[in-house]
Amino acid sequence: MLKILKYSFYDLLRSKWTLIYFLFFLLITQGLLYITGDEAKTIVGLLNVVVILCPLIATVFGTVNFYNSREFTELLLAQPLKRRDIFIGQYLGMTLSLSIGYFLGVLIPFVIHSITYTVDYSVLSILLFVGVFLTFIFSALSFLISLITDNKIKGFGLSILTWLLLALVYDGMQLFLLSMLDNYPLEKISLVMTFLNPIDLSRVMLMLKLDMSALLGYTGAVFNKFFGSSFGYAISLSALLIWTVIPVYFINRISMKKDF
Amino acid sequence: MIRLVYILLIVLSFPVLADTHIVCSDCHIGKVSNAVDMSERGDTIIIKSGVYTESLIEIDKPLTIIGENFPKIKAKNGEKIFHIIGDSVTITGLEFMEVTRSFTEDRAAINIQGGDYISIINNRFTNTFFGIYIAKSIGTKVIDNRLISNNRIEMNSANAIHAWSSKKLTVENNYVEGHRDGLYFEFCDNSIIKNNHSYRNLRYGLHFMFSDNNKYKNNIFEENGAGVAVMYSHHIEMYKNQFLNNWGQSSYGLLLKEIKDSKIHYNLFKGNTKGIYGESAIRINIFHNDFVQNGWAMQMMGSSEQDTISHNNFIQNTFNVSTNQNAKNYNIYEKNYWSDYNGYDLDKDGIGDVPHRPVKFFSQVLGYTPEAIILLRSFFIELLNFIENIVPVLTPENLKDLQPMVKQIDNDTVSKHI
């Protein structure tokens, strides 16, 4: 598995897409730090970029990469190798290269920034973790979708649809539901709904570190109590972990049975 | 002739005849209450450092009481210590302790009942129930005092400086911490409250009702349980105060309820859940204030009318302005600086060419569905905000700043120094 991981990892590094991804985040973070001169503002600016773009890039990249390396996959399948090793190895190789691109792209400007200013690493580390998790989750989802659908166009469409659903439509539905049922106590429902969407969950985890005073308003206190505690954070992190593990488990299961 | 000179000298030396009594544990006078009893009008009592356990000392004549090196006066049985009914009493340099709580009487370390022109200067109050209680007094001064309590429960605590039905008070340079309300005024007119620091009180840092024509300058209200709430008053002036970090479910930087014809200028509102909350706040000028990093910078309810909000800086607030109306707005917003303004200034006159709408769609939604706060900063919400900005549906159409400033205004509040 490690060997396959290594190959697909190097393959992606060679294709320069990871480099472009890395440079994109490097530029955006450095640019925001330069313009605002303040790390808190930069993280606010990065919040929507990370929460929306990381899943999108991971989705697109996962699908494209899967279909492009199909011949390589078929070649590997002919070898005496475990299917689990082939697919999980490829998946990890791709995700790791993307994650490293993102991680370093955001981290390096902050490290440079920290030479002259003090940087609060607690918020930054959440931002970094959340981005990496989202990359893992969405590349797994797109990998899974591509594995199920042999048709390129259909697979691509489905992956983008999944992203759209979780990034945009879900929030709309949540808002609709909340305003329809506003005579009922809704804190618990919205809490549960947040956990069911990794993008929302990541956003809330970050937001609670950033917009403390607004969230300490009347209802916000409930959320703050939950997410602000270390217990809440542990639960949120494990929810993200579950979101990663489930698609990977299905990748493994489906790849066992799939007829190529 | 010589006789005349003698008489003159005698007359002139009368003030000198006022006695000085010294109180210390091994002096002739060992108790403050004895000294007060034996002194005449205008006498001075000097209390040497030490610990005195006394209470219910009634002062009915002009006296000057001076403590040397802050002698400790402990309340005997936790009762009130000084009870002042005479005029022109000065108390300075004492440390009051251990006035315990009571649910039947308003126990205070210094209790002024009707005495006028009292000066309470440079004293310390440690765990006194009420610190200074002023009732029916004119021209009283409370300056340079430190009042610190460590109360935990609002119900069991009392106010640091409590004034009722008084006039022309001066409350200056005091530090109050850990009481129920830091500064409390009810029916107090024509007073000046300045340079005070009200920190971590359980309820309000400053609370007043029915108190007109007062000036509040250079005070700091910080991390109080419910911030500052002022009600039912008119002709109030608030200059250069700081309202900092008042966080909580019902916490306000400054809550205005039925405040009329007042001026709020050059104040700093920073890190509050709500900077200014206005309910029936009428004809108020809110000029040159800095609103920095608040949850809501201003929440003006529909009952607030004819207010002018001008030349303020709104910097990095989650929401700048919210209101519960969606039809019409009766306040004027003009020439403010909004950090989220994204218009342009082609003629370079420092005023943006596109009006700014400070009320966002999402802050209106939160008025109906507070739970939706969990969607804050969601991509979907940003999209809706953008659409609403172009075609207003939920936000009052005429609530806009027609002349938004492009650059931050130099308001000379203390924000620069923080």
Tell me, what's the ipTM?
0.84
Identify the pLDDT of residue B8: 65
For residue B209, is pLDDT > 80?
yes
Distances in whole angstroms, Cα of residue B261 to Cα of each of A38, B79, B237, B277, B369: 39, 42, 9, 16, 33
Least confident segment among A108-117, A184-193, B101-110, B143-152 = A184-193
Quote the number of domains for chain A. 1
B346 DSSP assignment: T
- For residue B416 the two structure tokens come to 């620069």
DSSP B122: S
Question: What is the greatest pairwise CA distance in chain A?
Answer: 62
Ranges A222-226, A233-237, B197-201, B367-371: which has the least confidence: A222-226
Q: Please tell me the predicted confidence (pLDDT) of residue B155.
A: 80
Angle at Cα B145 formed by Cα B144 and Cα B150, nearest 5°?
145
pLDDT at position B368 over 90? no
Which residues from chain B sit within 8 angstroms of residue A215, using beta carbons? 295, 373, 376
- Residue of B397, B280, B400, B391 lying closest to B327 (CA atoms): B397
Q: Which residues of A touch B318 (CB under 8 A)?
A: 211, 213-214
> What is the reported pLDDT for B394?
79
The pLDDT mean for chain B works out to 89
**A38-47, B244-253, B408-417: which has the minimum mean pLDDT?**
B408-417
Check A211 against B294: CB less than 8 A apart. no
Question: Region B284-289: what's the mean pLDDT?
Answer: 94
Question: pLDDT value at position B109?
Answer: 93
Best interface-test mutation with B: which of A213, A215, A226 has the largest number of B CBs within 10 A?
A213
pLDDT (average), residues A71-90: 86
* Residue B104's pLDDT band (cuts 50, 70, 90): confident
Predicted pLDDT at A216: 63
Contact A217 B273 (CB under 8 A): yes
User: In this predicted structure, what is the pLDDT of residue B9?
Assistant: 63
Host H or E run for residue B65: strand B63-67
Q: CA end-to-end span of chain A, whole Å?
A: 20
Q: Residue B170 above 90 pLDDT?
A: yes
- Per-residue pLDDT at B16 exceeds 60: no
CA dist B293 and B217 (Å) reads: 22
Contact (Cβ atoms closer than 8 angstroms) between residue B278 and residue B269: no
A104-120: per-residue pLDDT in tens? Answer: 999 999 998 888 887 77
- Over residues B100-121, the mean pLDDT reads 91
On the question of pLDDT at B127 being above 50, the answer is yes
Q: In chain B, what percentage of residues exceed pLDDT 90?
A: 56
Say which CATH superfamily domain B20-417 falls into.
Single-stranded right-handed beta-helix, Pectin lyase-like (2.160.20.10)
Structural domain including A237 reads: 2-257
> What residue ranges do the domains of chain B occupy?
20-417
Banded pLDDT at B417 (limits 50, 70, 90): very low
Percentages helix, strand, coil for chain B (3-state, rounded to 5) are 15, 40, 45
Backbone angles phi, psi at B198, to 5 degrees: -115, 115
A150 in reach of chain B (CB within 8 A): no
